Amino acid sequence: MTPYAGGVPSDPNRTLYFDNAATTPVRPEVVAAMSPYLTEQFGNPSGSHVVARAAVRAMDEAREVIAGIIGCGPGEVIFTSGGTEADNHAITGGMPPQPGVPICTAVEHHAVLDVVKALDGKVVNVDRAGRVDLDSLKATLGDVDGAASVVSVMLANNEVGSVNDLGPVADLVEEFSTSEHAILLHTDAVQAAAWLDLRIAAARANMISISAHKLGGPKGVGALVVRAPTTIRPMILGGGQERGRRSGTPSVASIVGFAEALRAVERDRSEVNERLTHLKDRFVTGLTAAVQGANPTVEGVVTLPGTCHICFEGADSESLLLLFESVGIVASAGSSCSSGATEPSHVLSAMATPESLRQGAIRFSFGHDIAVDDIDRALSLIPDAVSRAREFFS
């Protein structure tokens, strides 16, 4: 079977790729935009001659496009190798790490959570839907008594898709900041950027992480936005690129592709979000009607239009994934380590999802070009696959 990468969606021989939260296919217009910078326009933007200047222009243009869509100034965009680097940079504050106590929620991606833990920071609770518990955040800010360096709250969770309202978080950060010491608000918008207007959703964040491969762009490129007057020390030292904030020869083609992908996301956002909201609804309604013990993990709160997290009672994630794949559906358990093996989800534990549900957790994450036929085909295949997975489970 060939992977589903857009095109004619009703082709029954295509794999139904429902793992877009892991990575997305690169959009054709992104490949086209990148192509010249992989071939004739190969210049290193650090130079000053004519070949270098073409690369500089491409980067400047991409930076402007990205800044406009995120809602910041071009000078506030630092290109990185992706979301992980952006998160590490935001939490450490560069090299050496900034003094103070970093704080994050218990459901952050490991690119935030592990850095906070490595720096002896504090982890705050979330509610049953995986959103920040404001009382826990307030108590933690009080406990560290003005010593907080950064508060990191993700805009949307990568496993269950629940969306945080950053307004009340920003209010708390302000309440505990003083004229001598401003606590910074960072948001990991890696999952959210494909769906939400960051000009609004992340308007009050001092720092924002995004990654191109989650929104139809290439892997290995992303950005950390650092809004003035916040400044940050570099984490990667060397040639002084990105105005001294991130050294290393930039991948011009990837940066051009990143901008093109964001442009496409922005252009299509309202139509895609409306369509996907309906299709996700159709999927959940169909699935819960056809499969007893199929429970949507979060309900009644705002979630990303493309993310649908279901816990199947009486089955385990690994068997479910294998059986789904055997009928042409690719999804994920939501949490996997780099070896591909499933590990227990820190997100579901923090949400206090009961163990009986957690073991059969599956994340279906849809792409912007999914069609109703894809949903209906999945609905016709999943019930039998779940029954077979349940036979392995005792």
According to the binding rule CB under 6 A, does residue 159 interact with ligand PLP? no
Task: Select the residue interacting with ligand PLP from 24, 84, 149, 164 (CB under 6 A).
Answer: 84
- Shortest separation between residue 147's beta carbon and ligand PLP, angstroms: 26
Of 199, 196, 197, 193, nearest to 216 by C-alpha is 193
User: Which residues, numbered 100-119, are part of the site for ligand PLP (CB under 6 A)?
Assistant: 109, 111
The smaller minimum CB distance to ligand PLP, of residues 222 and 257, is found at: 222
Binder among 83, 121, 161, 218 for ligand PLP (CB under 6 A): 83
| Cα–Cα distance, 67 to 58 (Å, whole number) | 14
- Are 130 and 301 in contact by the 8 Å Cβ rule? The answer is no
Q: Does 82 bind ligand PLP (CB under 6 A)?
A: yes
Asked if 234 and 246 touch (Cβ cutoff 8 Å), the reply is yes
CB of 84 to ligand PLP, least distance (A): 3
Main-chain dihedrals φ then ψ at residue 282, nearest 5 degrees: -60, -40
User: Closest Cα to residue 292, out of 266, 269, 313?
Assistant: 313
Which of 222, 286, 296, 360: binder of ligand PLP (CB under 6 A)? 222
> Which residue's entry shows tokens 């071939």?
39
What is d(CA 164, CA 198) in angstroms, rounded to the nearest whole number?
A: 12
**Range in contact with ligand PLP (rule: CB under 6 A) among 163-171, 186-194, 262-270, 385-393:** 186-194
Enzyme catalytic residues:
337
Residue 176 or 364: the one with the smaller Cβ distance to ligand PLP is 364
- The region of 78-86, 92-100, 297-305, 319-327 touching ligand PLP under the rule CB under 6 A is 78-86
List the one residue out of 118, 79, 86, 85 whose CA is nearest residue 101. 118
Could you tell me the smallest distance in angstroms from the CB atom of residue 321 to ligand PLP? 17
**Among 190, 202, 252, 361, interactor with ligand PLP by CB under 6 A:** 190
Euclidean distance between CA atoms 223 and 24, whole angstroms? 17
Residue 161 lies near ligand PLP (rule: CB under 6 A): no
Q: Rounded CA gap, 226 and 6, in Å?
A: 34
Interhelix angle 50-70/252-290, rounded to 10 degrees, is: 30
- Residue whose CB is less far from ligand PLP, 176 or 366: 366
* Nearest distance in Å: CB 110, ligand PLP: 8
Question: Residue type at 383?
Answer: P
Cα angle value 153/368/279 (rounded, 5°): 95
Minimum Å distance from CB 392 to ligand PLP? 28
Where does this chain bind ligand PLP (CB under 6 A)?
82-84, 87, 109, 111, 154, 158, 188, 190-191, 211, 222
